[in-house]
Chains A and B, each alone.
Chain A
């Protein structure tokens, strides 16, 4: 018993198979398409493999039981990621329209999905490029030795270091003060930071030149932006493995803790990670393929590449984190040993790392007051390793600190930030493509306007609106956009897309299309996952997200040097007017879908009534 919603008029809106074939022959020269299969694959890989693979996945892996996290990740990759990808590729290839146009073709009521997708792409483009601007800032600053974040600057009287830097650390100071110049709260905007403004303009200019002619230029750019990260990751792996303590990091990352598998949050985080990695503007990319391209094979290959990249990047990141943690642990221990030697006037070398604990115990028994007076720090390697950071904290604080401790630091810094830049840029291509296509669909600009001009206008507008992230409080706005702008709405859109394709477009028709395109019908695995498993998983993740986000207080972490607990980030409540903004970010795209459906329905009814009235007369 297959559930199928009635969809009259579908045949009129879409091309039939014969028309598609004819189009293939006739349009061979006119229609834009990929120069070769490699460009298409690299673009898709570049879009899927983004900053999240480098700085979100390793953190999730380590905080959810190390090697054990691979199990839910791989299971959900197969059950959720690959079917989703195949669905996107197949529908794009079949309907030959961008991410926005397909839905109106499937059913006019689904116009809301187009609006929602465009809003999401716009939101993501705005804040994602700011991260690229920050990466460029660090990249520009990497061309000096010593690196500016390796030591604290002197204060005005040249007698000591700047107090904010002394109390935290040079890397924290460089990130929060020299780069962001964050105010203590989100209400104070802190003004435009001119250095970040320059990097912001530079980031949008680079994006403009890469997307100036659409996939003609992005297709060439992805040869570099999609392959360079792998080269750099390999270089870092080799360098990392030769550093002391790297194996500690890898062991820590992959040590499985199977008890984590029982927790639902582990599975939900794995599902979310797979989802955000795979979902986006890939429908546009596949619409430029020839009709008979084997999208099934593509989906499987790209999914595997994405999964393997995540694991590879996690390994590399944790060799470096292991090195940093070991270095910190060694310093902590030597500091303690020095304090003991000084207090008890023992000869150097009389306390070694190995029997440090025994010595401390013995001394504590004989001279407890002296030991109390020294104030020994607790040195625990596991604590240092699990200073688990994700996101910008990992890239701009933890990793940069590790780099300063490696010989030839400027070289590693340059390589690292080039890698991050390429990862971010290739993901941006997909978002900008989505916006471009929808703008052209909506016919906002006259047809005579050349493509370069349209791209220029869009980039300029996004650059202007993105100035909000160049303010001092930009970092707070960015985490707000990241948490609420892209997450819930994207889940809603994905769920609606899957339901639309399977039940409104019709799974039978879809299976026939696939047979027409690649030569054989999809097997039972695909059918089962499209109809039940994948939508169910996305729905569960959505419900979980809504429940947790609605129930928790809206908090953000602020950098406030005035507070006592500095340099720990202070958790503060958002002001009330933020709720409005959150609603605009998350609510409008999600609600656009049902509202657009209802609106179209009413429009149709009104038209029917008008026709009825006309017929009476």
Chain B
């Protein structure tokens, strides 16, 4: 009796091994880059970690295919390498001779990708399911582009500055024209005085007749 059971077990495992092989049409290859992701805090890959992987994959399958009670034994792993890469296939819980097809497995993994990643403290890049592309994270789009806001602030400040400068120059000019009639009288008086005194200079440099075009105004 025991012989028969042993024989059946060997046969079963032999069958299972045959179905799980590299480039199998029913499974996927997995690659883990633990050292790259965690550096010094990297854990060693061992039997227990593999158990966790199989358990999380069973969890993903349960989530995707409602009702079917996937167990750890339904996840068959083979071809483990030093890289920490291996192949796996998934058998149906109802009938172990049947394998779940690739599309379903892929959908299940995509659905629970985040949960599987966080179980191992890894990311989409470091826990790689070969041929399953990770879904891209949607970039946050702002309601108003931020550059427009900054532009508005700068333009507003510059505009306000221009208006202030123009207004202040107009005010200054008004003040000058109000003050000028008095200044003109003073000028004439001083000029008359120097002419009367007559000595000091050779002559007064009469500003009103000089060619001020020669000097480039600012």
A-side interface residues toward B, CB under 8 Å?
A: 15, 22, 26, 31-32, 96-98, 100-101, 136-137, 139-141, 143-144, 151, 153-154, 158-161, 195, 198-199, 201-202, 205-206, 208-209, 212-217, 284, 287-288, 338, 341-342, 345-350, 437, 440-441, 450-452
Chain B residue at smallest Cβ distance from A199: B151
Does B150 lie within 8 Å of A26, measured CB to CB? no
Task: List residues 91-147 of chain B with CB under 8 A from any CB of chain A.
Answer: 136, 138-139, 142, 146-147
- The minimal Cβ–Cβ distance linking B178 to chain A, given in whole angstroms, is 17
Counting CB contacts under 8 A, is B84 at the interface? yes
Q: A137-B147, A140-B151, A144-B147 are in contact. List 20 more A-B contacts (CB 8 A).
A: A31-B215, A97-B215, A101-B216, A140-B147, A140-B148, A140-B150, A143-B150, A144-B142, A144-B146, A161-B136, A202-B151, A205-B159, A206-B158, A209-B161, A209-B162, A209-B165, A213-B169, A338-B36, A348-B36, A451-B218
B85 closest partner in A (C-beta): A345
Q: Contacts A206-B158, A347-B82 hold; do A143 and B147 have CB atoms under 8 A apart?
A: yes
How many Å lie between the Cα of A478 and that of B47 in the bound state?
Answer: 65
The reply to whether B146 and A141 form a contact with Cβ atoms under 8 Å apart is yes
Chain B hits for A205, CB < 8 A: 155, 158-159, 162
Which residues of B have CB within 8 Å of A137? 147
* Bound-complex Cα distance A198 to B151 (A): 8
0 or 1 for each of B26-70: is its CB under 8 Å from A? (1 = yes): 000001011110000000000000000000000000000000000
Rounded to whole Å, the gap between the CB of A248 and the closest CB of chain B is 24
Residues of A within 8 A of B82 (CB): 345-347, 350
Residue from the list B85, B136, B151, B216 in contact with A97, Cβ < 8 A: B216
**Given contacts A26-B205, A154-B136, are A202 and B158 in contact (CB under 8 A)?**
yes
Chain B residue at smallest Cβ distance from A216:
B218
Contact among B154, B159, B161, B165 with A452 in the assembled complex (CB-CB below 8 Å): B165
Contact yes or no, B216 A212, CB < 8 A? no
B173 to chain A, nearest CB (A): 7
**24 cross-chain CB contacts under 8 A:** A32-B218, A140-B150, A144-B146, A153-B139, A154-B136, A161-B136, A198-B151, A199-B151, A202-B151, A202-B155, A205-B162, A209-B162, A214-B218, A216-B218, A217-B165, A287-B216, A342-B85, A345-B81, A346-B83, A348-B34, A348-B35, A348-B84, A350-B82, A450-B169
Is there an interface contact between A440 and B217, defined as CB atoms closer than 8 Å?
A: yes
Interface string of B161-187 (1 = CB under 8 A from A): 110011001000100000000000000
Q: Which residues of A contact B149 (CB under 8 A)?
A: 143
User: For A159, what are the chain B residues with a Cβ–Cβ distance below 8 Å?
Assistant: 136
* Residues of the A chain whose Cβ atoms lie less than 8 Å from the Cβ of B139: 151, 153-154
In the complex, A342→B139 CA distance in Å?
Answer: 30
Question: A343 — nearest CB in chain B belongs to which residue?
Answer: B83
A288 to B215, CA, bound (A): 10
Which residue from chain A places its CB closest to the CB of B125 in the assembled complex? A338
Task: Pick the 10 closest A-B CB pairs, nearest first.
Answer: A32-B218, A140-B147, A345-B81, A347-B82, A348-B35, A345-B83, A98-B216, A140-B150, A144-B146, A141-B147
Set of chain A residues within 8 Å of B151, measured between Cβ atoms: 140, 198-199, 202
Distance between Cα atoms of A578 and B89 in the complex (Å): 66
User: How many whole Å from B133's CB to the nearest CB in chain A?
Assistant: 9
Q: A491 to nearest B CB, angstroms?
A: 25
Pairwise interchain contact A212-B162, C-beta atoms closer than 8 A: yes
**Bound state CA distance, A101 and B213, in angstroms?**
10
Which chain A residues lie closer than 8 Å to B136 at the CB level? 154, 158-161
B200 interface residue, CB < 8 Å from A? no
| Bound-state Cα–Cα, A86 to B3, Å | 108
In the complex with contacts A97-B214, A347-B82, A348-B36, A208-B146 CB distance below 8 A: no
The reply to whether B31 and A342 form a contact with Cβ atoms under 8 Å apart is: yes
B195-215 vs A, CB cutoff 8 Å, 1 = contact: the mask equals 000000000010100000011
**A341 adjacent to B146 (CB under 8 Å):** no
A215 and B218 form a contact (CB under 8 A)? yes
B207: contacting residue among A26, A96, A347, CB under 8 A: A26
Interface residues on B, range: 35 or more
Q: Is the interface of B mostly helix, strand, loop or mixed?
A: helix
Residues in B with CB closer than 8 Å to A151 are: 139
Which chain B residue has the least Cβ–Cβ distance from A198?
Answer: B151
Cα A214 to Cα B216 with chains together (Å): 12
For A348, list chain B residues within 8 Å (CB). Answer: 33-36, 83-84
Known: A140-B150, A199-B151, A342-B83. A158 touches B138 (CB 8 A): yes
Cα distance A202–B158 in the bound complex, in angstroms: 8
Q: Can you name the residue of chain B whose Cβ is closest to the Cβ of A153? A: B139
Query: Which chain B positions have C-beta within 8 A of A452?
Result: 165-166, 169
Q: How far is the CA of A215 from the CA of B216 in the complex (A)?
A: 13
Chain B residues, Cβ within 8 Å of A346: 82-83
- Cα A209 to Cα B214 with chains together (Å): 28
CA of A437 to CA of B146, assembled, Å: 39
Task: Give the chain A neighbours of B84 by CB distance below 8 A.
Answer: 347-348
Tell me if A143 and B146 are in contact (CB < 8 A).
yes
* A115-B34 Cα distance, complex, nearest whole Å: 71
Which residues on A sit within 8 Å (CB–CB) of B150?
Answer: 139-140, 143
Q: Which of B138, B150, B216 has the most CB of A within 10 A?
A: B216
With both beta carbons as reference points, the residue of chain B lying nearest to A27 in the complex is identified as B215
In the bound complex, residues from chain B placing their C-beta under 8 Å from that of A136 are 154
Chain A residues contacting B147 (CB-CB under 8 Å) are 137, 140-141, 143-144, 195
CA distance A342 to B138 in the complex (A): 29
Question: What is the bound-complex CA distance between A153 and B147, given in angstroms?
Answer: 17
Q: How far is the CB of A506 from chain B (nearest CB, A)?
A: 20
A187 to B152, CA, bound (A): 33
Tell me which residues across on chain B come within 8 A of A440, comparing CB atoms. Answer: 216-217
**Cα(A161)–Cα(B142), bound, Å:** 18
State the CA gap A158–B137 with chains docked (Å).
10
Chain B neighbourhood of A287, CB < 8 A: 216
Complex Cα gap A202–B148 (Å): 12
Of all chain B residues, the one with the shortest Cβ separation from A201 is B155
Q: Which of B138, B155, B159, B216 lies in contact with A437, CB distance below 8 A? A: B216
Complex Cα spacing A226 to B5, Å: 90
The answer for the CA separation of A160 and B216 in the assembled complex, in Å, is 63
CB proximity of B168 to chain A, nearest CB, Å = 10
Residue of B36, B142, B146, B215 with highest tally of chain A CB at under 10 A: B215
Report how far A139 CA is from B173 CA in the complex, Å.
38
> A199 contacts which chain B residues (CB < 8 A)?
151
- Nearest residue (CB) in A for B161 is A209
Q: Once bound together, how far apart are the Cα atoms of A338 and B31, in whole Å?
A: 11
A105 to chain B, nearest CB (A): 8
Partner of A208 from the list B36, B162, B173 (CB cut-off 8 Å) is B162
**Per a CB cutoff under 8 Å, which of B148, B165, B218 touches A288?**
B218
CA distance A32 to B34 in the complex (A): 72
CA distance A206 to B154 in the complex (A): 9
In this complex, what residue of B is CB-closest to A208? B162
Residue from A195, A341, A350, A451 whose CB has the most chain B CB atoms within 10 Å: A341
